[in-house]
Structure 1
Amino acid sequence: MKKSLMVQLLSVALLMLGCSPKPEDLPQFSNADISKLMTKVTEVMVHDVTNPPLAARFFAYINLSAYEVMAQHDTSLNSMHGTLNVFPKIIAPEAANYSPSLSAILAMMHTASKVQPSGSMILDFEQQFLDSCLELGYTEEIILQSKKYGEEVSKQLLAYVSEDGYNKISNFPKYTPVEGKGYWYPTPPAYFAAVEPHFNTVRTLTLDSASQFKPAPPVAFSEDKNSPYFKMLMEVYEEGKELPLEHRKIASFWDCNPFAMEKSGHLMVGLKKISPGAHWIGITGIACDKAGKSFSEAVKIHTVVAVGLMDAFISCWDEKYRSNRIRPETAIRKYIDPTWEPLLQTPPFPEYTSGHSTISGAAAVILTHYFGDNFSFTDDVEVSYGIPARDFPSFITAAKEAAVSRLYGGIHYRDANENGTAQGLKIGEWVINRVEKEKAMPVAIDQH
C-alpha cells in the first residue's frame, strides 16, 4: 500500500509539473532483482533438464549481457573486450531517456530467451516484470528505450555466443563408451548416454585452452585388492554401508543432479533438481544481498563467477573424457557387492575429476576475492526444492563440503574430489587474474 501511494503521489506531482519522469528519479533496481532473474533462469533450466556444463554456459552469457550494458555507464567497470578470449567490442546503441539498470536486466532476459530452449518462459516473466516497472512509475517511453538499448547489446553478445563452437557439437560422431576394464559405462537406473563428451571443444572464456589446468592423472584402475585404486573403491563402499545422518544431509544438500530419476511402479519419474552451477549462482546472490552490494557490483560479481563456472566445466569435462574412469557404482557391483546402490544417483558421464568439486573450488576462490576469507552465510538456495538451509563460515568451507559430499553420496572416489578441487582453485585464481588484472591470493583446502 505504501509503495502504491508513493507511486500515485509521484505521478500526481509529475503531472502538476507538466513533465515526464527521468529514469534517474525513479525507484532504482538492486542486487535482489538480479537474484530474482537468476532464480527464474534456473527454473527454466530445471524445466528443460539442462545439463551442468550447458547451464554454466547459459549463466555466463546471460550475465555478460548485463555486465556489458553497465560497463558503458559505470566507470568502475571495464568492458570484457580485451579480457575474455576474442570478446568483441560492444558498440553502445543510440538511445535516449532510458535506464541503464533496466536495460541491463532486459539484456539478460533477451539473451536468456534466445539461448535457453524454453525461452518463452523468460518472455512471460519479462512481461510480468515490465508491468511491475509501470507500477513503479516507469513510463512506456522509458521502458521502450531501455528495452531497445538492452536488446541491441544482447544481439551483439549473441553473435559472440554463436561462434563459441557449441553449435558444432551436434555434428560430431556419437560418443561410444570405451571398451575395457576400468572405463566408464552408463549406470542405472536410466542408463543415460554420455553427457557433453565434446564440451572441451567449446571456446574458453579466460583459459588458454581446455587442458591448461590438466589435473594429476587419476589413481590407476586395478582389480588387485591391495592396490591404491581398490582401497579407494572400498572407502566408497564402506562409507555407503552405514552412512552417518550428517553425511547423508551433506550428500543430499549438494546433490544437484538434473538427471535424477525415481522408480514409480513400472515408470521412471524425473526429479526436479538444479545444477551445481545454479547452486553457486544462488550463493552469489545471497552474498551480494548480505553485503549490500550495489546493482553494478552485483552484476560484476555474478558475471565473474559465471565466467569461472563455464571455464571450470570446460576444464573438468576435458579431463573426464580423457581419463574416462569407471564410476564407483559400476566397480562395486562388479567386484564387491552386486546389490550395492549409492545414496545419490550416478550422473551420466565419466568419474574423474568431480565436476562439483572443480566448479565449487573455482567459485569459492572468486567469491572469496570479493567478500573476504571469513564471509559467513546461510545457503538456502534449494529450500524451494525441499532441501533445508545450511550455514557456512566461508566459501572455502562450502566448497570443501561440496567436494566430500560426492564421496558420501557414493558417486566419486577421493582423488577425484581432491584433485578436482585443486583444479578449480587454480581456475578461480586464473579468472581473477584475468578480470581484475591483479594476482589472486592463492587458496588451499585441507581435504581431511
Structure 2
Amino acid sequence: MRKINRSIYLIMLLMIEFSGCISHPKQPPAVTTQVIGQVITQMTEVMIHDITNPPLAARFFSYACLAGYEVVAQNNPAFKSMHGVLTDYPNLKKQDSIQQYDVSLSAVLAMLQTAQKMQPSGKLLAAYEQQLLDSCRQLGYDDAVISNSKRYAIAVSKKILAYAKSDRYNMISNYPRYTPIDREGCWYPTPPAFLPAVEPYFNTVRTLALDSCTQFPAPPPVAFSTGKKTAFYKLLLANYTEGKQVPEEHRIIAAFWDCNPFAIQDDGHLILSRKKISPGAHWLGITGIACEKAGKHFDDAMQIYTSVAVGLLDAFICCWDEKYRSNRIRPETAIRKYIDPQWVPVLQTPPFPEYLSGHSVISACSATILTHFFGNNFSYTDSVEVAYGLPPRSFTSFQQAAQEAAISRFYGGIHFMDAIDNGLVVGGKVGKLVIQKLNSK
C-alpha cells in the first residue's frame, strides 16, 4: 500500500509540474508564476507562425500583460491601478457581480483572451487555454470557480482590447505605402529578399509611459560621407574589418541575439523563412527565468512582466521614430557600394533603417527594469532560445546581457557603433521612466 501511495504522489507531482498548477491540502489550488511564462511562450509561437515584426510583437505583449496585471491590481491593494499612470488608461471598475473566482487563473486567462483577439492567428491559443483549464480541473479546481474566473477574465480583456484599439495602430493601414528615399546615405532594402520597410509609421502609435515618442531624443547619427578621412568612413571601416574575419566567439554572440523574425534561407531555388523569435520575446523569456530563480509570487511576477512589456512597447516606438527620421543606410549597403561589393554580414540585415539599434534600445530598457526588481548582480543562465537550437549563455547581470545584445549587432555586421552606443543610452532612459511611473508606491 505504501508503494502504491508513493506512485500516486509522484504522478501528482508530475502533473503539477506539467500544468503549472499547485494543489495544497485544505487550500484552494493556485496557478503558479511559471504559467505567465507559458502564456508568453504560446504567444511567441503564434508570432513565429504569423511572422510578426518586433514592434508589433511588443504591442501584443504589452496589452496581454496589462490585462493580467489589471486582474491582480483589482484584487491586491499592494498593486496600483494603471489609471492615471499610463497614457489614456481607463478607470476600470471591478465587476462585483462575479464571485468565486481564482485571481491568478483569471489573470492568465485575461492574457490569453487578449492575445487571442489581437494576434492574427490568436485562435491557435485556444488549445493551450483548454489544456490549462483541463489540468486545473484534474488538480481540484471547482467548475464554478473555473467558469467565473473565465467570465472575469473576459470582462477585463474586453476593456483592455478597447484601450488597445484606441492607440492608433489600426489607422496605420490608411497611410500611403512607404517608399525608400533614393538618396546617398539613406536606407534601402537589402538582399536576399529585399523586403519592404517594416512599420514606418510606428511612431504614430500611442505611447504608454512616455509622454511622446520624442521624449528622449537621440543625438544625431554620425553624418554620412564617402570621404575616407571622415567619421562615418571610420565607422564603415570598423564594420568592414570586423566582418572580414569574425572571431568564432563573436559569431556565437551574434547568433544568440539575432532574434530576427524576417530571417530567410535562400537555397537557390526557394526562399524559406527560418524560425526565430523577436527580441522582445527573448527579454520576456529572461524575465521568466529571473522570476523563477528568485521565487517571485504570482502577483509580483505579473507586475514585473507588465513593467518589461510596457517598456518594450515604448522603447520600440521611440526607436522607430528615430529610425525613419534619420533613415540611415545599413552597413551592408554602404560597404558593398563603397568598399567591397562581395562583402556579406554575419547576420541578415533586417528590413528597416539603421539608426538607432533596436536591440540596444530595448535591451537597455529591459535590463534597467529588471535590475530594479532583482538587483545589480543577479546572475542567471539564459536558456530562452534552446528550443530554437541555440545553447544557453550565462550572465552575471542584466546589464551585462544588454551590453552583449547591443554589441552583437556590430559583430553581426548590421549596425554601426554610434547606433549601438546611443541606443543603449536612450533605452536606459526609457527603462528608468517606466520604473518611475509604474512602480512608485
**For this structure pair, what is the TM-score category when the shorter chain's length is used for normalisation?**
over 0.9
Question: Residues 312-391 of structure 1: matches in 2 within 5 Å?
Answer: 312-391=315-394
Alpha-carbon distance change, 424 to 280 in structure 1, aligned in 2, over 3 angstroms: same
Report the CA distance shift for 1:381/1:427 in structure 2 as closer, same or farther (over 3 A).
Answer: same
Is 1:200 matched with 2:203?
yes
Following superposition of structure 1 onto structure 2, how do residues 293-312 of structure 1 map, counting pairs within 5 Å?
293-312=296-315
Separation of aligned partners in 2, 1:342 and 1:122: 36
Q: Which amino acid in structure 2 is aligned with residue 278 of structure 1?
A: A
* Structure 2 counterpart of 1:238, from 227, 238, 241: 241
Q: What residue number does 2:132 align with? A: 129
8 Å Cα contact 1:26-1:136 kept in structure 2: no
Aligned residues: 426
- Rounded Cα–Cα distance in structure 2 between residues aligned with 1:347 and 1:106: 34
The residue type paired with residue 32 of structure 2 is: S
Shift of 1:271: 0.3
- What SS does structure 2 have at the residue aligned with 1:25? coil
Q: Give, in whole Å, the separation in 1 of the partners of 2:121 and 2:26.
A: 34
Structure 2 counterpart of 1:53, which letter?
P
Q: 5+ residue gaps in structure 1?
A: 9-20, 439-448
What does 1:70-81 correspond to in 2, within 5 Å? Answer: 70-81=72-83
Instruction: Trace 1:136-147 onto structure 2 (pairs within 5 A).
Output: 136-147=139-150
Mapped partners of 1:205, 1:3: distance in 2:
46
Distance in 1, Cα, partners of 2:64 & 2:121: 15
Pair 240,39 (structure 1): closer, same or farther in 2 beyond 3 Å: same
Kept in 2, the 8 Å contact 1:7–1:136? The answer is no
The residue aligned with 2:9 is 2
Letter in 2 for 1:424: G
Following superposition, the deviation at residue 91 of structure 1 comes to 1.7
RMSD (CA atoms): 1.7
Q: Which residue matches 1:433?
A: 436
Letter in structure 1 aligned against 2:293: K
For 1:77 and 1:110, locate their aligned partners in 2 and report how far apart those are by CA, in whole Å.
22
Tell me the alpha carbon deviations over residues 357-395 of structure 1, each in whole angstroms, 9 at most, x when there is no partner.
Answer: 000000000000000000000000000000110000000
Q: Within 2, Cα distance between the matches of 1:326 and 1:273?
A: 24
Q: Residue in 2 aligned with 1:13?
A: none
Alpha-carbon separation, structure 2, partners of 1:163 and 1:75: 28
Asked if 2 retains the 8 angstrom alpha-carbon contact of 1:23 and 1:142, the reply is no
Match of 2:411 among 408, 411, 415: 408
Shift of 1:107: 0.4
Task: Name the SS for the 2:221 alignment partner.
Answer: coil
Cα distance, 1:415 vs. partner? Answer: 0.2
Tell me, in whole angstroms, the C-alpha distance in 2 between the residues paired with 1:303 and 1:437: 14
Q: Residue in 1 aligned with 2:35?
A: 33
Q: Where has structure 1 moved over 2 Å in runs of 4 or more?
A: 3-8, 21-27
Please name the residue that 1:92 is paired with.
94
Find the counterpart in structure 2 of residue 228 from structure 1.
231
1:23 Cα shift? Answer: 12
Report what 2:4 is aligned to: none
The two structures have a TM-score, normalised by structure 2, of: 0.94
CA distance in 1, matches of 2:25, 2:310: 30
Specify the code of the residue in structure 2 equivalent to 1:27.
P
Paired with 1:6 and 1:375, the residues of 2 have a C-alpha distance of: 29
In structure 2, do the counterparts of structure 1 residues 3 and 149 end up closer, same or farther at CA, with 3 Å as the change threshold? farther
Shift of 1:5: 6.0
Secondary structure of 1:161 counterpart: helix
Deviation at 1:4, TM superposition (A): 5.7
Query: CA separation of 1:422/1:117 partners in 2, compared to 1, >3 Å: closer, same or farther?
Result: same
Q: Which residues of 2 match residues 242-257 of structure 1 at below 5 A? A: 242-257=245-260
**Following TM superposition, by how much is the alpha carbon of 1:139 offset from its aligned partner in structure 2, in angstroms?**
1.9
203 and 5 in structure 1: CA distance in 2 versus 1, 3 angstrom threshold: closer
Match of 1:65 in 2: 67
CA distance in 2, matches of 1:188, 1:6: 51
Counterparts of 1:6 and 1:178 in 2: how far apart (Å)? 60
Residue 436 of structure 1 and its aligned partner are, at CA, apart by 2.2
> Match of 2:54?
52
Q: CA deviation at 1:25?
A: 2.4
Aligned to 2:182: 179
**Partner SS for 1:72:** helix
- d(CA) in 2 for partners of 1:185 and 1:384? 33
